[in-house]
Structure 1
């Protein structure tokens, strides 16, 4: 293939908790992202990219390994990635690529799970700090004065300048922002001070008709802390006024953090252009999952609703991709590793559970179109958000969510409550149709697809418990 013969450079920029609907090219009504939009204008926007486990650590492990959480062993935030496992960067290194990682790792920091397969790495310990962050490398820890998004970009560009120009490279730039507690830099500290950010249409969603377990979820505006809001709540506000005040405090800082990410993405794009590498470099922008921006009254992620499940995915590579193109195929974060390996002309290991997206990038129908996305969130009622364990499937039109509860005798989990949404008629997922008689056949078909997907990916512990 032409792109494989070229052995393109690979730059993958991943932010943390960046919702697709807070990107201009995805139609954001609340902010502008001119540099991210440059990637979309030069390449392809994926409208239906979903994560397979909507939480940071497991999603990052899935991207590196190309495997589901139950296979790579990283099911929850509390798990670590065994660094002896095969991973994307190791495969690319074997294929002759230089490899580097800067920024958030979040997969463990012992010798057994620190980054492996990278020629250069500098990562934040845990979540890391927004200001004057410490970064860890093979030679120990060093504190860097300044703002974390700028520093991650500085170190990344520094390695790119020092690399061997005769070899292709993989550069993974993993930003902390816009993760909670949303501390902006001084350049953007007053951005949006003079405006009110529009509240989402389902901001006042009361979750009527949805699973009863959602009543205990702690992701509402009322659950934002004084640390999140940066100041105490003013006295004398009505309940509705306080909710709106909290939303404005939260969303403005969130968007300010994104403004810094966008500016630094622009620095990387400018470097590629200045080096004359535009036609030789695949540039990817994504996030580890989506995020609620007041949608359904929530912040955070974890749930199987669209805002949490959907990941932004923007890809540019002029020799292959038509500028300004849009892909509506169903894809997942498991597809990132096989896609990059395929673009690099490297062999695709049998372990990979995702698919190469090179056909989609070229504007061709995929050889193996995905008709159903499988999602499973493993943490059950963990603090501070108390989100139940769940699994489900999403097709082009429908979504089935199965909430879980501990099985009797402490032997795993069993199905508890179900939700079903017709996304063609209810894109906001407000009307649960699981018990609607006219959707009985659809419900049974989706349960069958859920059971089949579990068998296909060898996640079998709940197959017998489905109705």
Structure 2
């Protein structure tokens, strides 16, 4: 008779144990979205580029080795503010309204944290924001004022009063400070809820002000250089190099002395050297400063990852690492981003989640930054909202195939000849081909274009940017050294790409109905 109560008790214990295991398995994951500013895939060891031998990112590489690395992730507008707006809204620039650096994102359009709060998440953003209006859709924020300072940064903080006067200044390098503030948030968060945290570094944004402790990092190391820094006789079009090379002195900030007003020989060198030697010395200094900032990011991620493991958060936390776009590191003798060329358009994207993602996996799925919000929402147990234009790739994270996935991804840069003298353009990229249309026109009238001075200056000097097409076969020409637009062998595929481009522009609300002068240029030059 005594055995029955004992068996009953054991049964209850067993049921409770099974329930507890199931509850743990069904527990919503925490999600940390980590984004650095201008950290390009060439400067991440796991991507195996020319800088991998320098071992610049051991902590990020370990994350990739234990998670999934995305080989084909691209931004839809390679500039800070629009890219961040796209990530938060799941929408392309023309739909979310943030076309350029002057754009802002009001709280009612800060969709990602709003959707995650509906799913029971505590939401926070710490670090770079760059979208002007208060990030009020988050439960908690500590964000840099505008672009932010590398040293002794000012952060606008939820708990310190009314935006934008709610400022607190911290001593130290911004990368260290942002990590400190994130660790403080994690220690004091609402532990009754899963959390969604956007952890955003300023580094390695230009002008690459690294923490003093990295001054000797790579000091005596020769940084590998891209061949196209020195020689690329078949690159570009009349829109990017001009007829007979006339535009070479004024298009795209350069490493070499090529650009007459903005080049890194002028900015970084004091010695009276010129030619290839000057280019070499400027490049070495430029890359070492950049990689010292990258080293600071990677070391601080080591601090963050150690904390997550120590606190038992590692296994149930989705960790995403990316940059807000790519970055030209001397390829084509360009620096900065904005371009639709590979190094600028491509984003690093790594996802780590031990409970679901197979160790050491990679995918060549064609992803863009409209897809980030839908995927994060579905990782949190929700469904992609109908107003988002991106698609969730959660099946890929789970090791399964995606259905009806895109064959091409759309891109548009709106800011004609602003800051780094990059002409306005749009285009599409498939896994093998890329088609770019330079339409040479700012979308705003001259009276509203704040930086129109430089365009007028270039015109006065006889530097007029013509309309032109570029086409690249990325299988046979991965470095985009030869424009094949006028090669008859590609006539059929170019026609197909144009049809796909026109369809995407219509489907994605990316047409120029609101900009008749641009639409006229498109119509007149579409078949040329």
TM-score w.r.t. structure 2 length?
A: 0.83
117-126 or 253-262, larger mean C-alpha shift: 117-126
Shift of 1:386: 1.2
Aligned to 1:16: 37
Shift of 1:301: 0.7
Pair 1:294 & 2:330 matched: yes
RCO higher in 1 or 2 (8 Å CA, sep ≥ 6)?
1
Alignment match of 2:479 (pick from 428, 435, 450):
428
Shift of 1:238: 3.2
1:122-146 alpha-carbon deviations (Å, 9 max, x no partner): 1111111111111112321111000
Alignment match of 1:246 (pick from 282, 291, 294):
282
Alignment match of 1:203 (pick from 225, 229, 236):
229
Give the alignment of 1:63-212 within 5 angstroms. 63-108=87-132, 113-138=133-158, 139=160, 140-206=166-232, 208-212=234-238
Give the alignment of 1:347-426 within 5 angstroms. 347-382=383-418, 384-406=419-441, 416-426=467-477
Assess if the C-alpha contact under 8 Å between 2:264 and 2:282 holds in 1.
Answer: no
Note closer, same or farther for the CA distance 1:196–1:3 as it changes in structure 2 (3 Å cut): farther
Aligned to 2:74: 50
CA distance in 2, matches of 1:409, 1:179: 27
CA distance in 1, matches of 2:345, 2:229: 18
CA distance in 1, matches of 2:42, 2:360: 18
CA distance in 1, matches of 2:442, 2:305: 51
Pair 1:326 & 2:347 matched: no
Alignment match of 2:47 (pick from 15, 26, 40):
26
Alignment match of 2:340 (pick from 295, 304, 307):
304
CA distance in 2, matches of 1:207, 1:351: 45
336-345 or 196-205, larger mean C-alpha shift: 196-205
CA distance in 2, matches of 1:72, 1:245: 42
Shift of 1:158: 0.5
Q: How many residues align?
A: 458
CA distance in 2, matches of 1:17, 1:432: 26
SS for the counterpart of 2:228 is: coil
Give the alignment of 1:455-466 within 5 angstroms. 455-461=506-512, 462=519, 464=523, 466=526
1:221-253 alpha-carbon deviations (Å, 9 max, x no partner): 133458953xx4212x23111111110111000
264-273 or 167-176, larger mean C-alpha shift: 264-273
Assess if the C-alpha contact under 8 Å between 1:3 and 1:344 holds in 2.
Answer: no
RMSD after superposition: 2.3
User: Unaligned stretches of 5+ in structure 1?
Assistant: none
User: Unaligned stretches of 5+ in structure 2?
Assistant: 1-21, 161-165, 241-247, 447-464, 513-518
SS for the counterpart of 2:402 is: coil
Aligned to 1:233: 270
CA distance in 2, matches of 1:227, 1:114: 38
CA distance in 2, matches of 1:409, 1:359: 41
Where does structure 1 differ by over 2 angstroms across 4 or more consecutive aligned residues? 1-6, 28-31, 205-209, 222-229, 405-411, 462-467
CA distance in 1, matches of 2:491, 2:175: 49
Shift of 1:396: 1.0
Shift of 1:3: 11
Note closer, same or farther for the CA distance 1:282–1:16 as it changes in structure 2 (3 Å cut): same
CA distance in 1, matches of 2:440, 2:373: 33
Shift of 1:105: 0.5
Aligned to 2:504: 453
Note closer, same or farther for the CA distance 1:117–1:410 as it changes in structure 2 (3 Å cut): closer
* Greater C-alpha radius of gyration: 2
Pair 1:270 & 2:306 matched: yes
Shift of 1:206: 4.1
Note closer, same or farther for the CA distance 1:158–1:226 as it changes in structure 2 (3 Å cut): farther
1:339-389 alpha-carbon deviations (Å, 9 max, x no partner): 01000012321111111111111121112322100000111111x211111
Note closer, same or farther for the CA distance 1:95–1:287 as it changes in structure 2 (3 Å cut): same
CA distance in 2, matches of 1:4, 1:441: 51
CA distance in 2, matches of 1:272, 1:228: 41
